[in-house]
Amino acid sequence: MLQVGDQAPDFTGPSGDGQELRLSDYAGHKVALYFYPKDDTPGCTAEACSIRDHWEGLQEAGIMVIGVSPDSVSSHQKFAAKHDLPFSLVADPEKKILETYGAWGEKKMYGKTFMGVKRTTFLMDESGTIIKIFKRPKTKIHGQEILDAFTES
């Protein structure tokens, strides 16, 4: 599992606009990279909308946001359009990015064990160093959590 102080691994993946997104393209910027289970589900929608609702403050603070889930590009396009999301969503159906960041693994719910996305957010400074990891972000206030964490660092 990645830790605070580690260099964030670079990745490439298709974004909701159909373009290839590379983390290294964000060098020199603060980045919030968040992993979430599924487009248009209650918790994931709350989290994305919280980030959207704090977008102006995030932009003023120079923070770029990238969301990653196993959903398809077309699913991301619909999700972003439906909720007016101003940030990039990366499709990772093979779960390569999720696995690299330790955001795919065994989960337990209602006494059952299964493989799934571990909702996690990594904050990186301008040099790509991980400065904070949210292992269980609060979906309804995650935009504010991101802003506060960058303000504190």
Q: What CATH number is associated with residue 134?
A: 3.40.30.10
Tokens linked to 70: 């196993």
Cβ contact 73:18 at 8 Å:
yes
- Per cent of the chain over pLDDT 90 is 90
Element spanning 80, H or E: helix 73-83
Domain contains 10: no
pLDDT class of 16 with cuts at 50, 70, 90: confident
Active site residue 49: no
Domain contains 147: yes
Tokens linked to 11: 């990745």
Contacts of 69 (CB under 8 A, 6+ apart): 35, 36, 37, 38, 39, 44, 76, 89, 91, 92, 117
Segment 50-66 shows an average pLDDT of 97
- Write phi, then psi, for 18 (nearest 5 degrees): 85, -5
- Domain hosting 115: range is 28-152
Number of domains in the chain: 1
List 8, 23, 33, 44, catalytic entry:
44
Tokens linked to 62: 């120079």
State pTM to two decimals: 0.95
